[in-house]
Amino acid sequence: MDWKERHLIKIPKQGDSSRCENYIGITLLSVPGKVLNRVLLNQMKDAVDAQLRDQQAGFRKDRSCTDHIATRWIIVEQPVEWSPSLYTNSIDY
């Protein structure tokens, strides 16, 4: 297998096998391709991490939703002096 090639393996899930949504795909990469992907990922992580705000927890090492839930709980418990309403929003993938 060439280092740029990959093979997609379809694994059936339960249900009608004639429907695409009843399959899950796994991509098999060559070892040199995996090494290149890891090198690129590490370089990109460092570059992206430097660009993100400290409050950003998604896609970062040693950060989790638990941190944001605790922060939100503290904010909600504090009295809101300038506005009687408080709106919050969370997005988790």
Query: For residue 7, what are its two tokens?
Result: 């093979």
Helix, strand, or coil (residue 53): coil
Helix (H, G, I), strand (E, B) or coil at 92: coil
Q: What percent of the chain has pLDDT over 70?
A: 87
pLDDT digits (tens, 9 = 90+) for 61-76: 777 778 778 888 887 8
**Three-state secondary structure call for residue 12:** strand
Of residues 64 and 25, more confidently modeled: 25
pTM of the model: 0.43
